[in-house]
Structure 1
Amino acid sequence: MTKPLLSVRGLTLDIPLARGTLHAVRGIDFDLYRGETLCIVGESGSGKSLTSLAVMGLLDKNIQRRAERMDFDGTELTRASNRQMRALRGDRIAMIFQEPMTSLNPAYTIGDQLIEALRLHRSVSRDTARARAVELLEKVGISAAASRLGQYPHQLSGGLRQRVVIAMALMCEPELIIADEPTTALDVTIQAQILRLLVDLTKEMDVAMILITHDLGVVARVADKVGVMYAGELVETGPAAEVFGKPMHPYTRGLLRCIPQPGMTERGGELGTIPGIVPSLIGAVQGCAFRTRCPHATEACGGEIPVRGEQSHRFLCVYADGARSVEGEPA
């Protein structure tokens, strides 16, 4: 069987605070293969962005990272030195952040920043790097690409800036792109264009992508695999078609009921809601974190929660069927 490009097992992130330790990410596992798009979805504060920063090695010094394994194509990231991580970042692993204006240096032209991204990792001339920059700007849909190289970030619209950031991420032909809510700062029409562009480029260049978002509509359009994150845990993972077609965890089903379903949601009908708030993850955390909001919670939910399902589609729940057999719960 083909080896995963990125394999993560037991990733845990703890943040020491005055009130105790915040268990921000709690023992998550996932595999990502070349050419695949894994979407990690969940509410704000669930640990999605911290997970991506842990892979990139960009966590604050006070955050304690532990993992049984974080293997990127044979390199164990938990044991990689700062020098090794600097060599990987921007070269074999690239990241696209939420706000393009903070990802680009306002004091340098677009061309200077794109050229630097390539020459930092490759022994190429400035002319070669410039030609590569023009090629990628055209590939991401920017017209008059050569003339754009002399412009500064503030002279471009939000959509163009995000396209520049995507081009910068692709300069060294990375094997993995991590996109952390890359369309948050853009309007709806531009969002769709950027997402389509990202997916098309990753397929064309056989690049693996981790896309972090809270928008299930986005996930449905672009994901090969989905990881549903709640309170620092991946409560359900699996192929996108299975997670959307047969969601097993009560939280996943709650999220899906919150969005309109084509052909199923009546016009003017009420959408579902998930009552309550995400529990505090400071101090000891036991049992299912969703039990305070789950209509099917029992005393057993406060104990150890087993991993259920098949290897390709797994979920965390005391119910073997994800509480589907409980009366009143929609399938």
Structure 2
Amino acid sequence: MANSSDIVLEVDGLSVDIRTAGGTLHAVRDISFSVKRGETLCLVGESGCGKSMTSLAIMDLLPKAATKTARRLAFAGEDLSRAGKGRINALRGNSMSMIFQEPMTALNPAYTIGNQLVEAYCLHKKASEVEARERAVFLLGKVGIANAAERLGQYPHQLSGGLRQRVMIAMALMCGPELLIADEPTTALDVTIQAQILRLLADLQRELGIAMVLITHDLGIVARIADRVAVMYAGQIVEEGPTASLFNAPRHPYTQGLIACIPVPGRTEPGGRLGVIPGVVPSLVGEVRGCSFRDRCTKAQQACLDAPPVRETADGHRWRCILENAA
């Protein structure tokens, strides 16, 4: 077991509700997880399962129509649910950083790369602009951008997608954060650049000892980079565990379905049929009862109409299901 002082992020009972014209949307439903220093946790699941909403709740960047509740939401032992706006602003961008999905919309097109890198460092570290620019040049070089000093004077539209994503990573690292949340950082990039960015993130995370939450729907990425995996479905974490354990022995039917959809080199025949998960994700507007996966599950039973128990193995592999082993 990890010492409690090793835990950088602790989430216990986090829920996010959004007011809509049709009722309350329960976007995130009572999820719990923790991330240790130097560890990478991957939040995985199909679009709309609540991954990004979870990250926005942690960073206190939820839209106005959304409200969050939690039994405990702690960063480095400090309860964020009790912290005021001023304290959250002091932590966000400084000790807690986030890489957003689309760098072209996350970067301000009206300001140079240098202005956007320097601003937060001067604000949080009370540093001079000269110090901040030196830090920016260092980090741009660290993330593999050549002629870093010259790039500071360029605008986002003058950079390729891969370079903009590297700038976003450098920006997130400017203040030396303890926690880094990366929300699908390679979605808009081609496959070659994706691999480079993932290697870069993994190398920086190990070198700097950062706790990282990587949000993705790509299980191939998860297998390469994660220490632990949390699988989300319909706003809940339905399975969580060490990466090897979860991939080698998935316990929840949804996780099994996701893994069955992945082609396996040497085993999946060219042109052969891949696995599919029938049905659609249920609506999360209004009351949600029982197992949310039951209408798509081939192993569903009458008992699935009630909330499923959370089961756990000795290595910390947990899943929500009435079955001890759905295999």
Q: TM-score range by the shorter chain?
A: over 0.9
Letter in 2 for 1:15: I
Correspondence for 2:221 among 215, 218, 232: 218
Q: Which aligned pairs between 1:210-249 and structure 2 lie closer than 5 A?
A: 210-249=213-252
The 4+ residue runs of structure 1 with deviation greater than 6 A are none
Shift, 1:269, TM fit: 2.0
Task: State the Cα distance separating 1:84 from its structure 2 match.
Answer: 0.6
- Report Cα offsets for 1:84-112 as digits up to 9, x if no partner: 11101110000000110111111111111
| Residue 305 of structure 2 is aligned to residue 302 of structure 1 | yes
What per-residue deviation string (whole Å, max 9, x for no partner) do you get for residues 136-167 of structure 1? 00000000111111111111101001100100
Letter matched to residue 35 of structure 1: G
Matched with 1:259 is: 262
Gaps of 5+ in 1: 325-331
Residue among 194, 199, 215 paired with 1:191: 194
Equivalents in 2 of 1:44, 1:297: separation in Å? 23
Q: Give, as a single letter, the amino acid of the residue that structure 1 aligns with 2:317.
A: H
| Residue aligning to 1:100 | 103
Q: How does 1:43-122 map to 2 (within 5 A)?
A: 43-122=46-125
> Would you say how many aligned residue pairs link Structure 1 and Structure 2?
323
- Return the alpha-carbon distance in structure 1 between the equivalents of residues 131 and 263 of structure 2: 49
Instruction: Tell me the amino acid that sits aligned with residue 217 of structure 1.
Output: G
Q: Are 2:323 and 1:319 equivalent residues in the alignment? A: yes
How large is the Cα RMSD of the aligned pairs?
1.0
Identity %: 63
Paired residue secondary structure (1:278): coil
Partners of 1:267 and 1:76 lie apart in 2 by 51
* Residue of structure 1 equivalent to 2:152: 149
Which structure 2 residue ranges, 5 or more long, are not aligned? none
Alpha-carbon separation, structure 1, partners of 2:198 and 2:307: 38
The one-letter code of the counterpart of 1:80 is A
| 1:53-107 deviation digits (Å, cap 9, x = unpaired) | 0000001122121110001112111111110111011100000001101111111
Match of 2:3 in 1: 2
- The whole-number CA distance in structure 1 between the counterparts of 2:67 and 2:172 is 27
In the alignment, the residues of structure 2 paired with residue 99 and residue 256 of structure 1 have an alpha-carbon distance, to the nearest angstrom, of 26
Secondary structure at the counterpart of residue 120 of structure 1: helix
Alpha-carbon distance between aligned partners in 1 of 2:99 and 2:107, rounded to the nearest angstrom: 11
Cα distance in 2 between the residues matched to 1:26 and 1:290: 14
